[in-house]
Amino acid sequence: MRIGRFYHKSANETFWGIAGSDDVGRVNDLGDLTIISRYDPEVLEVLTPVMPKKIIAVGLNYRRHAEEMKLSIPDDPVLFMKPHTAVLAHRGTIIYPEMSGRVDYEAELGIVISRDCRNIAPSEAASVILGYTAFNDVTARDLQSKDGQWTRAKGFDTFAPFGPYIETDLDTGALDIEAVLNGKTVQKSNTSDMIFDVYKIVSFISKVMTLEEGDVIATGTPEGIGPMQKGDEIIIRIQGLDDLVNFVG
C-alpha cells in the first residue's frame, strides 16, 4: 500500500490518501485507512507523506561507505538529527546555501514510525514501523568538515527531501538503492550492505529517545556520495518504492 499526503488545489484541503494506479483514495487519517472518496491525481499536489516532529539519521551504516570515508565500522549506530524545518516534498527544490561551496546528495532508505514507542526490542520493531520511503540526506560537505560536527551541514531548510509515498509492504533486507544525477547513476548499492538493519536501528534509537508517530529515520547512505550544482536534477531510486525527484536551485 502506498500512503501519501495530498493537497487538493481547488478545495484548499490537505489529506492522507492511498495512491493507486489511476486515482487517489482519501482516508480519514493514518489510523483509519478506509477510503471515503476518490480523486484524479491531476487535481492533487503531492506533499511529504508525513510532517515529522523529528528526523533521526544514521551515519556510516554501509560497510563500503565507511571504507570510502576511511573510517572504522561503528559498534553502534551513529546518530544525528535534522530539524523538521528541513523537510522537502517530491519535486521540490533544494536550495543551495550561500555559505556552502559543496552540497552533496546521499541516497537513503527512510523509515516512518507508526506510533509513539520507547525501549522497543528488535523483534518488536516491525510493529511500530508504518512503512518506508525514499530519503535524500542532503549535506553541505564543506561545512561538515569545517565544523567537525553535523548540525549546520545537515540542517539547512530543504535538506531533508523524502517521499513521495510511504510503502507499507516492503522487505528491506536486499533492496537496490541508487542516486541518479542528471540521468547518470552516481550511487549504486544494496541494503544488504547495511551494518545495522532497520529493526536494530529502530530498537537502538527507541532506547535513546521516545519515537513518535510520524517520525522519520534515515538509515544511512552507501558509497558514491558527491556534489550537486544549481540546475541539477537528483533522483533517489530504491527498489520497491516510488522515485524521489528533486531539483537544485
Q: Which of helix, strand or coil describes residue 63?
A: helix
The one-letter code for the residue type at 124 is E
Higher local confidence (pLDDT), 9 or 16: 16
H or E element that contains 141? helix 141-147
Which residues make Cβ contacts (< 8 Å) with residue 32, sequence separation at least 6? none
Strands 244-248 and 93-94, by their bridges, are parallel
Of the pLDDT bands very low, low, confident and very high (cuts 50, 70, 90), residue 170 is very high
Domain ranges of the chain: 2-47, 55-248
Pairwise CA distance, residues 30 & 53, whole Å: 15
Residue 176's pLDDT is 98
What is the predicted pLDDT for the residue at 68? 83
pLDDT at 101 > cutoff 90:
yes
Calculate mean pLDDT across residues 187-206: 98
Residue 234 scores a pLDDT above 90: yes
Region 150-166 average pLDDT: 98
- Asked whether the beta carbons of 88 and 160 are under 8 A apart, the reply is yes
Taking alpha carbons only, the member of 196, 177, 173 closest to residue 74 is 196
- Model pTM greater than 0.95? yes
Short-list 18, 19, 189, 235, CA closest to 243: 235
Average pLDDT value for residue range 82-101: 98
| Domain 55-248 CATH superfamily | Fumarylacetoacetase-like, C-terminal domain (3.90.850.10)
The side-by-side arrangement of strands in the sheet containing 103-105 is: 139-140, 103-105, 226-228
The pLDDT value given to residue 69: 83
% of the chain with per-residue pLDDT over 70: 100
* For range 229-244, the mean pLDDT: 98
Nearest Cα neighbor of 77 from 92, 95, 60 is 60
Number of CB atoms found within 10 A of residue 247's CB = 15
Give tens-digit pLDDT for 171-194. Answer: 999 999 999 999 999 999 999 999
pLDDT in tens, 49-84: 999 999 999 999 999 988 888 889 999 999 999 999
> Which residue type, as a one-letter code, is found at position 56?
I
Mean of pLDDT over the chain: 97
